[in-house]
Chain A
Amino acid sequence: MMDLSSINPILLVASIMVSATPILLAAIGEMVVEKSGVLNLGVEGMMITGAVVGFAVAVNSTSPALGFVAAALASALLALSFGLLTQFLLSNQVATGLGLTLVGLGLSSLIGKPYEGMKSPTLPKLDIPLLSDLPVVGRMLFSHDLMVYFSLALVVAVWAFLKHTRAGLILRAVGESHDSAHALGYKVVMIRLMAILFGGACAGLGGAYLSLVRVPQWTEGMTAGAGWIALAIVVFASWRPGRVAIGAYLFGGVTVLQLNLQAAGAAVPVALLSASPYLVTILVLVIISARGAHAAPASLGRPFHASS
């Protein structure tokens, strides 16, 4: 017996948008970092730091907006430690990133102890005038909180920045060949550091979205691997902003859809449904890459030292 009529497509899409937003925020930030030639595997650690700091500040100030700002700053600060290590002390990026995750997870749970079991103010839904009153799409697309739109706007902004600005061009040049960029007189280390800070701030926003909107509460270890998914989405997107959004919505979409299918009693093995977000992501990537994928930035993960 399979009665899927109880799934309401309008609510489904609305849920998907909420579900995808934290990964989208973290992924678009990490994409910029990787575009500059740096691989920061510490997204999980930065996200959870953002989650706890955002929550703590929102509780204390009763302002979720302030919480988001603080989350972005805190995670950028954490990212700075990664930046100093990898850019000035030339430490290995993969190991440093993993270390950053350990630091973030440990630090966040120490900071978060007093905030367990608390409730925070959450972001109001915007209910955009006129648009939100439209039938179907109103509820589906136009009555979310600000951060949902901010994340999408950020994707557009990053795309425009990389594609149409000089600074974006320089950032990409640094990621493709830091030696040539250096020879042209660009400050490779500073540019990468800026990108790392931006990536940290975005991961912090993603984490705060979890603790302030999507869940909303603080519990130890609450990101539960979302940072890793964000990293995977960047790869999935072949380092292109539009595809980051597609990837995050696809992943979030399948996650929410499989839960809805279970709720509606679909006759599909639960283990298969449970694994479906990962399987679908792999499958779609295989299809995309079979048609020829864009390669990673050529200098990705390679340390840079100006020897001359």
Chain B
Amino acid sequence: MIRLEKRPQPSQLWTYLTPVLAVLLTMLVGGVLFAFLGANPVEAIRTIFWDPLFNAQFAGFTRPQLLVKAGPLILIAIGLSIGFRAGIWNIGAEGQYIMGAICGAAAGLAFYPSESFLIFPIMIVAGALGGWAWAMIPAILKTKFGTNEILVSLMLVYVAETILGSVSTGLLRNPEGRGFPGSRNFKQWDAAHNSDLIANTGMHWGVVFAFIAVIGAYVLLTRHMLGFNIRLTGEAPRAARFSGVNPARIILICLGLSGALAGMAGLFEVTGPAGQVSIDFGSGYGFTAIIVAFLGRLNPIGILLAGLLMALTYIGGELAQLMLGLPGASIQLFQGMLLFFLLAMDVFTNFRLRIGKREVA
């Protein structure tokens, strides 16, 4: 009989080994899937994991793009992870991301075509405030009426999408855009353009903020009293209350923080890679970030790595579609499998496998 036995403490070795094993397993099973779809499995796996980093034809472009793609995922996931640690379930980061983009863009466009150096900082603040305010709705409803934040934050995603559709065709529509939906393009407005800080590195302000957020979260959770209180609230809510932690305050802080970070991520995307507010601006970053947060085990460093890994499978998956003609759905399935294996292998960090009868202690 096979059973699991809890390790006295998490295994250092397995912490590093499990992701590697999981990726290897995914390659194996994914290879079978791709072979089944008529592609060369070795080529497919190489395209997904190797080419974005080292292919001579692409890597010069895709390597920095890994940062660009991972940046918003990490920034949002960091905010979410702090809430998740406290047992506060913000599922609506996508909505906060959208509202951040809208508010930040609107704040900037109000000053169009000023070239003041203050424009971009104002937009960042407005973006953060937009996301924060959108997250404050579930936060206040939860603290005042005990309304479940999962439902409210999720429902507000759809409301934000409707607002996005509305402002793209109305309020923020580019007056010089011949009636087409979508705002002015920020890439054509230097004061508001979130460009690479050093050309062709992918390092735009959003990526910089993502790194700052990782460090900030690390310090908060390991060195700061507030971080301790947040963790305590999640792990032992009663104990937290006895030790004088105000649960309402933790809710407001956690939801506010994750909303502000998601809003900032939205602003950095709308002024950078996306370029404009448009109907389809929201493309699921807020949901993918939930995966990133848990894949990183709610640990800031883990989130950083998980974000980069997700970005790799996205970009590698795009290359596989392009070069091998694999359907987009197979890439989605592959990502799902990778996630499954990563999560399944996790068990060996905390448990060891025992074969045979249970010993009598």
Direct contact of A and B (CB under 8 A): yes
* Contacts from A to B (Cβ < 8 Å): 45, 81, 85, 89-92, 94-96, 98-110, 113, 220, 225, 228, 231-232, 235-236, 271, 274-275, 277-279, 281-282, 285-286, 289-290, 292-293, 296, 305, 307
Q: Say yes or no: is B330 at the interface (Cβ < 8 Å to chain A).
A: yes
Minimum CB–CB distance from B280 to chain A (whole Å) comes to 14
Give the residues in chain B near A281, CB-CB below 8 Å.
151, 155
Q: Say yes or no: is B133 at the interface (Cβ < 8 Å to chain A).
A: no
Give the residues in chain A near B150, CB-CB below 8 Å.
231-232, 235
* B337 and A92 contact, CB distance less than 8 A: no
Q: Contacts A95-B343, A285-B151 given; indicate if A110 touches B146 (C-beta within 8 A).
A: no
Give the residues in chain A near B152, CB-CB below 8 Å.
282, 285
Q: List 13 A-B contacts (CB under 8 A).
A: A90-B4, A95-B294, A98-B291, A99-B339, A102-B335, A102-B336, A105-B332, A278-B155, A281-B155, A282-B155, A286-B145, A289-B145, A305-B4
Minimum CB–CB distance from B178 to chain A (whole Å) comes to 22
* A90 and B351 contact, CB distance less than 8 A: yes
Inter-chain CA distance A292–B154, complex, in Å, is 21
- Complex partner residue of B336 from A103, A271, A290, A307, CB under 8 angstroms: A103
Inter-chain CA distance A279–B151, complex, in Å, is 11
- Enumerate the 5 nearest inter-chain pairs by beta-carbon distance, A residue then B residue, closest first: A106-B333, A102-B336, A103-B336, A95-B294, A106-B332
Give the residues in chain A near B339, CB-CB below 8 Å.
95-96, 98-99, 102
Residue of B nearest to A113 (CB): B327
Inter-chain CA distance A214–B344, complex, in Å, is 37
Inter-chain CA distance A85–B4, complex, in Å, is 13
Residues from 104 to 121 in B contacting A, C-beta threshold 8 Å: none
Give the residues in chain B near A305, CB-CB below 8 Å.
4, 6, 351
Give the residues in chain B near A45, CB-CB below 8 Å.
336
* B154 and A231 contact, CB distance less than 8 A: yes
- Complex partner residue of B340 from A94, A96, A109, A282, CB under 8 angstroms: A96
From B159-167, B181-189, B225-233, B254-262, give the one contacting chain A. Answer: B159-167
Minimum CB–CB distance from B5 to chain A (whole Å) comes to 9
Give the residues in chain A near B350, CB-CB below 8 Å.
90
- Complex partner residue of B333 from A94, A103, A220, A225, CB under 8 angstroms: A103
Inter-chain CA distance A220–B330, complex, in Å, is 13
* A96 and B335 contact, CB distance less than 8 A: no
Give the residues in chain B near A274, CB-CB below 8 Å.
162, 165
Residue of B nearest to A82 (CB): B340
Inter-chain CA distance A4–B145, complex, in Å, is 35
Q: Contacts A102-B332, A106-B329, A106-B333 given; indicate if A290 touches B145 (C-beta within 8 A).
A: yes
Q: Say yes or no: is B156 at the interface (Cβ < 8 Å to chain A).
A: yes
* A293 and B146 contact, CB distance less than 8 A: yes
Give the residues in chain A near B6, CB-CB below 8 Å.
305, 307
Inter-chain CA distance A293–B148, complex, in Å, is 9
Inter-chain CA distance A96–B338, complex, in Å, is 11
Q: Say yes or no: is B76 at the interface (Cβ < 8 Å to chain A).
A: no
Main secondary structure of the interface of B (DSSP, over half): helix
Q: Say yes or no: is B147 at the interface (Cβ < 8 Å to chain A).
A: yes
Task: List 9 additional contacts besides A91-B344, A96-B340, A275-B159; criterion CB under 8 Å.
Answer: A89-B347, A91-B340, A92-B294, A94-B290, A103-B336, A106-B329, A106-B336, A232-B154, A293-B147
Residues from 322 to 361 in B contacting A, C-beta threshold 8 Å: 327, 329-337, 339-340, 343-344, 346-347, 350-351
* A99 and B146 contact, CB distance less than 8 A: no
Give the residues in chain A near B327, CB-CB below 8 Å.
109-110, 113
Give the residues in chain A near B145, CB-CB below 8 Å.
286, 289-290
Give the residues in chain A near B334, CB-CB below 8 Å.
106
Give the residues in chain A near B290, CB-CB below 8 Å.
94-95, 98
Residue of A nearest to B288 (CB): A98
Residue of A nearest to B138 (CB): A282
Minimum CB–CB distance from B330 to chain A (whole Å) comes to 6
* A96 and B343 contact, CB distance less than 8 A: yes
Give the residues in chain A near B180, CB-CB below 8 Å.
none
Inter-chain CA distance A150–B343, complex, in Å, is 36
Give the residues in chain B near A293, CB-CB below 8 Å.
146-148
* A292 and B155 contact, CB distance less than 8 A: no
Inter-chain CA distance A105–B339, complex, in Å, is 14
Give the residues in chain B near A307, CB-CB below 8 Å.
6
* A232 and B344 contact, CB distance less than 8 A: no
Give the residues in chain B near A106, CB-CB below 8 Å.
329-336
Q: Say yes or no: is B287 at the interface (Cβ < 8 Å to chain A).
A: yes
Q: Contacts A106-B334, A285-B148 given; indicate if A278 touches B156 (C-beta within 8 A).
A: yes
- Complex partner residue of B344 from A85, A235, A275, CB under 8 angstroms: A85
Give the residues in chain A near B163, CB-CB below 8 Å.
271, 275
